[in-house]
Structure 1
């Protein structure tokens, strides 16, 4: 396999020439965090991913996790890598300084997540889930729980897990059966079984903090009767040390298509002691703090896998000799000379670089939502992040899986066998379309809820922002074509959004996935427009950006017209066939 090459040069380009990082930091009162500091951090993160995580990615997949006498055993090297990661301060990168975090901008966190996912997706889930758990605890738990658990979650000494799913309750959490009975000391006895619990247990050391959805004895039916509980693997003594093992155990490890090095557990809770997080019967509100953070992280997983698969495919395409040159004078030639191979590589690259830019833009909105001095600006930014979350989660993971498959295709038969490592990318990428809310659910969230935020004002504000950027970029010779074609896609998206307003459930369901893809393509076009407008110089990087923007405009964005036609067809072609006819 090719070594992993962190995309630090692209990060630098985006920070300086596209996203205006220094000005953005100054606006929120963080002028001391400038591009030089950001790039130096990303460089060090990239070294860790390339030198420590990438080398154990394939071996971890082959060895997998095992359950030995009820204890999880992770693949060789993973425990040492995690401890090195935590000791290096990477678990605390964007965390609140009040609990030991470094408080660095979330754009660095998301791009670190991209490199983690590219180099070792199974590993990257561990700190990602811990960060989500810490955010939920920080937002909803009591001060006592925060003081006890947050410092060690932030430092990486302890890790976190999210326990939602049950065998009969997946997307429909109203069906969950896990119970929580009050104890006399203010704690609760949690009993039930959860499945698909990523990082449910491991052998890295420390504690594992589960956030578990369960029902109180007097809870109302449905989702309005769900509460959230903090359930640690080990109880914590008054002095902060680890005490007795709690009443929770790993029933089995899930046998999965991919992410074999990730300990995905069936968890049994047998009168396990837990503490209420947030208000009784409002557990979903608290859990969604974690889930929304995880959905962004999962989207970045799709981006990371696509970038890693692209790097492998490019290296192979330059070395593999097959066939004649186009003019017939040379034989054999590197397959990168063949148009179809170039098409596949360019498809992947056009998504990866636009996705990276959109992730960065979204992360800067998250900074504004948390730190802008104007409350109105904070609210606007927070709404934009909420709108884009399903687009990032589903759009990035759909395109990420497609990219992994296309990269595998570049290898031909060699891509299908284990030796070259490409089949692992395909297997690993697949889960990101499924967990943290399937991509169909994300699409329904977009059309059924997010389009209606503030009566439609949020989506309209984003459309206006995109339109303004396109109009300005159209004046630039380097960006005129991509601006024009993205404006066409934006017009189709605006019309689609207007047509879906007030639509019935079947109409929304039939249109949802195509609408989200149209939204994602338009957003990528917007980012390519911004990148092309910033690439009027003569450097090789600028020339490549202009060429890639042209490729995206002429070869990828035309999909928008087909998607619009599919959406216009309405629900009848989908719903007309009787269920018995299937």
Structure 2
């Protein structure tokens, strides 16, 4: 298993040189967070990932989770690692101080999530899901539920899980059947079965708080009849400690391709006591607070996989002796790093990882503006940016993360296919990120079918203007010119797609995934142009930026041609011929 080194220096470059995060955060209220503090926090987070999380990554994959006597046991070392996680105060890093959190900027949480995903993908899922549950409870639950559940969850003593999917209801949640019966004391009895519940049960925390979608007796059909319920594994006693076991049980755990150290459960709720979160029949709205947070988190998982793949593959390429450089005189074998194709694979991974990190950090700062900016118009604008980029980050980052894992494995050759080198685990773990929290096809449909058309297309226009304005002073430079040219093609493709979709709804689905990739490449190119144009940009940054402009960004030309072909080539074949 390759060693992992947290890329703290590059993170500080992004926060300080590229984005000037302290200046962005300063007018938003709250305590000042200087760059020196950010560096200290990230350095400590990196040490946790390197020294605690990463050493149990392979063993956790090999041992997996086990269901014993109705309870899930995580792999050896995971409970101890999570105890260290809690002792370090990491669960409350970006949560509100009023609930016991540290109130640090979300951008630090995003970068910590990247490091944790690189070091131990499965381990990072447990606190990641809890954080999403805290956000949903904090935004939609009543004061009593917040007071009772948020402090122990923020502290990390209690953890969270979300229970949406049923056997017959995956993407189409309107088909779910779980039900909730009101009780005289204001609680509800929740009954139903859920599948694919990440962290549904485990031994890391003393209680697990499930957010469960179910229907009230008077619920209208479809998604308009879904409500959200808080259902704890153990009901709190009079002192607020875990007391009586609730009607929540594990039916089985899934045996999966990857993330074997993350418990994916079938959960059964048998008249389990729960409490309504938010308004009746408005559960989907409340749940999407958690879902959108998790979608961004999953995108960061793809980024973390890419960084881990790059570190492992580049180290191997420097050491592995095979063949000689093209045109080299006779002599001994040289490191495979001399071969152009190996360099292309490594540069492809790095070109995504470093630009992806920058785009993720930029988006996290927009989230801070959306939450805390004193100007309502600035809040609304930032919120629109986050809404637009959420499906892009989830889908593109996980697609590119999986591709990075495969490329990293390819650098290893046969050694990449065997367990001891760690690359095959990255491939297996990365694959789920393209599927859960809404498949990437669904994310693309969200972008094209909803986000592009909101407010008459205001969101993409605002984002495109942001790119154009930020590069205007350098429009003739080697780094800005190709991005601005690609942006012009993307703007034209956006207008053409809107016109075709108005005439034929099939055009939306036919274009969605290609359009999202096009959009993502332009956004990543924007980050590369900005980084390369900085006076402080190191030569390596400019070299990778040139690679991106010459070998990656031109993919947008092919995507533009595919979009112009429209839905006809996809819909021409009769169903019976499939």
Q: How does 1:53-64 map to 2 (within 5 A)?
A: 53-64=53-64
Q: How does 1:495-534 map to 2 (within 5 A)?
A: 495-501=492-498, 503=501, 504-534=504-534
Pair 1:472-2:473 in alignment: yes
Residues 150-206 of structure 1 deviation map (CA, whole Å, 9 limit, x = unaligned): 001101010000000001000000110111111121111111100000000101231
CA contact (8 A) 2:324 2:338 kept: no
For 2:435 and 2:304, the matched residues in 1 are separated by 16
Q: How does 1:30-109 map to 2 (within 5 A)?
A: 30=30, 32-109=32-109
Q: Structure 2-normalised TM-score? A: 0.98
For 1:327 and 1:512, the matched residues in 2 are separated by 44
For 1:473 and 1:134, the matched residues in 2 are separated by 43
Residues 181-239 of structure 1 deviation map (CA, whole Å, 9 limit, x = unaligned): 11121111111100000000101231100000001111111000000000000001122
Residues 42-100 of structure 1 deviation map (CA, whole Å, 9 limit, x = unaligned): 00000000000000000000000000111111000001101110111100000011101
CA contact (8 A) 1:25 1:34 kept: no
For 1:405 and 1:73, the matched residues in 2 are separated by 31
For 2:475 and 2:14, the matched residues in 1 are separated by 20
For 1:370 and 1:178, the matched residues in 2 are separated by 33
Who is 1:403 aligned against? 404
1:449 partner SS: helix
Residues 14-45 of structure 1 deviation map (CA, whole Å, 9 limit, x = unaligned): 11111011211222134620110001100000
For 2:182 and 2:27, the matched residues in 1 are separated by 47
CA contact (8 A) 1:473 1:529 kept: no
CA contact (8 A) 1:165 1:196 kept: yes
Who is 2:542 aligned against? 546
Q: Structure 1-normalised TM-score? A: 0.97
Who is 2:177 aligned against? 177
Residues 328-354 of structure 1 deviation map (CA, whole Å, 9 limit, x = unaligned): 323200000100000000000000000
CA contact (8 A) 1:201 1:263 kept: yes
1:273 partner SS: strand
Residues 466-505 of structure 1 deviation map (CA, whole Å, 9 limit, x = unaligned): 0112222336xxxx22211111111111111111225132
1:267 partner SS: strand
Who is 1:234 aligned against? 234
For 2:568 and 2:436, the matched residues in 1 are separated by 29
Who is 1:200 aligned against? 200
Change in Cα spacing, 1:196 to 1:492, as seen in structure 2 (3 Å) is: same
Who is 1:210 aligned against? 210
Pair 1:481-2:478 in alignment: yes
For 1:10 and 1:253, the matched residues in 2 are separated by 39
Residues 364-413 of structure 1 deviation map (CA, whole Å, 9 limit, x = unaligned): 00111111111110111011100000000001000000000000000001
CA contact (8 A) 1:22 1:31 kept: no
For 2:490 and 2:321, the matched residues in 1 are separated by 43
Who is 2:564 aligned against? 568
> Gaps spanning 5+ residues in structure 1: where?
none
CA contact (8 A) 2:479 2:533 kept: no
Who is 1:224 aligned against? 224
Residues 413-432 of structure 1 deviation map (CA, whole Å, 9 limit, x = unaligned): 11011111100000000000
CA contact (8 A) 1:190 1:269 kept: yes
Structure 1 residue 305: Cα displacement: 0.5
For 2:451 and 2:346, the matched residues in 1 are separated by 33
Who is 1:243 aligned against? 243
- Aligned pairs, number: 574
CA contact (8 A) 2:57 2:120 kept: yes
> Gaps spanning 5+ residues in structure 2: where?
none
2:452 partner SS: helix
2:457 partner SS: helix
1:191 partner SS: strand
Q: How does 1:424-439 map to 2 (within 5 A)?
A: 424-439=425-440
Who is 1:140 aligned against? 140
Residues 491-526 of structure 1 deviation map (CA, whole Å, 9 limit, x = unaligned): 111111111225132100000000000000000000
Structure 1 residue 463: Cα displacement: 0.4
CA contact (8 A) 1:446 1:512 kept: yes
Who is 1:273 aligned against? 273
For 2:542 and 2:362, the matched residues in 1 are separated by 20
Change in Cα spacing, 1:274 to 1:31, as seen in structure 2 (3 Å) is: closer
Structure 1 residue 325: Cα displacement: 2.5
Q: Runs ≥4 in structure 1, deviation > 6 angstroms?
A: none
Pair 1:441-2:438 in alignment: no
CA contact (8 A) 2:2 2:422 kept: no
For 1:254 and 1:88, the matched residues in 2 are separated by 31
Q: How does 1:360-371 map to 2 (within 5 A)?
A: 360-371=361-372
- Name the Cα RMSD after superposition: 1.0
CA contact (8 A) 2:128 2:294 kept: yes
For 1:282 and 1:559, the matched residues in 2 are separated by 42
For 1:312 and 1:472, the matched residues in 2 are separated by 38
CA contact (8 A) 1:405 1:426 kept: yes
Who is 2:14 aligned against? 14
CA contact (8 A) 1:453 1:459 kept: no
For 2:182 and 2:202, the matched residues in 1 are separated by 29
For 2:181 and 2:137, the matched residues in 1 are separated by 21
CA contact (8 A) 1:162 1:197 kept: yes
For 1:198 and 1:156, the matched residues in 2 are separated by 17
CA contact (8 A) 1:93 1:101 kept: yes
2:478 partner SS: helix
Pair 1:309-2:309 in alignment: yes
